[in-house]
Each structure stands twice: as C-alpha cells, then as structure tokens.
Amino acid sequence: MFIQTLDILGTIAFAISGVLVAMNKRMDAFGVFIIAFVTAVGGGTLRDTLIGATPVFWMRDMTFMSVIAVAAILAMLFRDKLKHLRRSLFLFDTIGIGLYTVIGIEKGLNADLHPVICITLGTISACFGGVIRDILCNEIPVIFHKEVYATACIVGGIVYFVLREFTGDVNLIFLIAGAVVIAIRLLAVVFKISLPSLYKKT
C-alpha cells in the first residue's frame, strides 16, 4: 500500500510537470493530456518493459489513468495559481524523480536483479518520462544538460542500498532515499552546482 501510494504521488507530480511544459508550448487540451500522460508513465513503461513486467503497470491498474486525467485537469484549471511556471515545473519534476527512483529500485529488487541494475532501473523510471516529454516538446532533455539530474537519482539509489545494511524498515529507506534525491537536485539548482562541461566556453 505504501509503495502504491508513492507510485501515485510520483504519477501526479510528473503529470503536472508535463502539463506545465505543454502549457508553456501553448498546446491545445489534447496535446496537454498527451504530454501529461507520457511524462507520468514513460519511465515506468520502459522500466516494466525491460524487466518483462507486461502488461505494464498503467495497463493493469486504471487508477493511474484516472490520476493522470484528474491531475492534468486540475493543473489546467488552476494554471493561473501557478504563476511561476518554471519554478512549479522544477518543483514537481524534482518530487517526481525522487519518488520514481525508489519505486524503480524496488521493482528491480522484486525481479531479483543486481543492485547496480536496480539503481539503473530507478534512474530510468525517474528520468525517461521527462526525456520523452522534452523531445515531444522540442526541448533538449534536462538529463542531457550538465545539470545534476540523473546523478541525484544514482546517489539516492546508493543511499537506498546502504540503508538496507542498517535497517529493515522499508518505508524508512524509501523516505530517506527519495528525500536524498530531492535534496541533491534542489541544492544543485540553488547553489548552481553542475557536472563539468566537455566543451570550452567561447
């Protein structure tokens, strides 16, 4: 129940971030729904496909379709309340990657995969919905920028497995590891911390 709750919260966060990007691009209502949908389930769909968990999660549980639809409608209705769209997008996107990282790791563990592969799955779950969203919206995906994004997911995944050595409380591990991902992403943006660029400034 706790894991499903996190999954739904992550879905809501990513759906709203998709709506905000689509509205920035001045898409119509159908376009907004499509972007919200692929942002919310893109990473999880790829994750489930890779581990052979088919039909993928949103096909087996209509709750996710309903949650995405409601989140998208509410985000559109209250778009005037989201005055600082860029800030709101960043916030919901950050919450989404934190929640989806730990969910992806747990899915990997349930499939009896190596910890490194579990962390990879967590990163895929967290990042690739945003990659698809940005590609469809004609943007360079955030994960390919020098910003700390996927790195935060990887560090959170490492923390997840370290915590498993000290406690068996799965809920506590989920909360701390997810919070680490969110905190790293927030701190990186606030203090302008980034990965080194391969290109010289001209």
Higher per-residue pLDDT: 1 or 138: 138
Which token pair is 19?
């709506």
> What was the pLDDT predicted at 112?
95
> What was the pLDDT predicted at 198?
60
Any idea which of 5-9, 135-139, 144-148 has the lowest mean pLDDT? Answer: 144-148
3-state secondary structure of 194: strand
Highest mean pLDDT among 2-6, 80-84, 146-150: 2-6
3-state secondary structure of 1: coil
Q: Given a cut of 80, is residue 200 above it in pLDDT?
A: no
Q: Find all residues with CB under 8 Å of 183, minimum gap 6, and list them.
A: none
Q: How confident is the model at residue 82 (pLDDT cuts 50, 70, 90)?
A: low
Region 94-102: mean pLDDT is 91
Preceding amide of 196 cis, omega within 30 = no
Region 3-15: mean pLDDT is 85
**Distance from C-alpha of 165 to C-alpha of 78, rounded to nearest angstrom:** 44
Residue ranges covered by each domain of the chain? 2-141
pTM score of the predicted model = 0.87
Mean pLDDT across the chain: 87
pLDDT in tens, 118-145: 999 999 999 999 999 999 999 888 777 7
> What was the pLDDT predicted at 158?
96
Cα-Cα-Cα-Cα dihedral of 140, 160, 183, 80, to 10°? 60
Q: Given a cut of 80, is residue 180 above it in pLDDT?
A: yes
| Number of neighbouring beta carbons within 10 Å of residue 17 | 29
Instruction: Number of helices (H) and strands (E) in the chain: give both, helices first.
Output: 8, 0
Region 83-89: mean pLDDT is 64
**Distance from C-alpha of 93 to C-alpha of 100, rounded to nearest angstrom:** 10
Region 77-98: mean pLDDT is 76
The torsion angles phi and psi of 194, rounded to 5 degrees, stand at: -145, 165
- Phi/psi region, residue 141 (left: phi>0; alpha: psi -120 to 50; beta: rest), is beta
CA distances from 178 to 2, 74, 160, 197 (A): 13, 25, 8, 27
3-state secondary structure of 63: helix
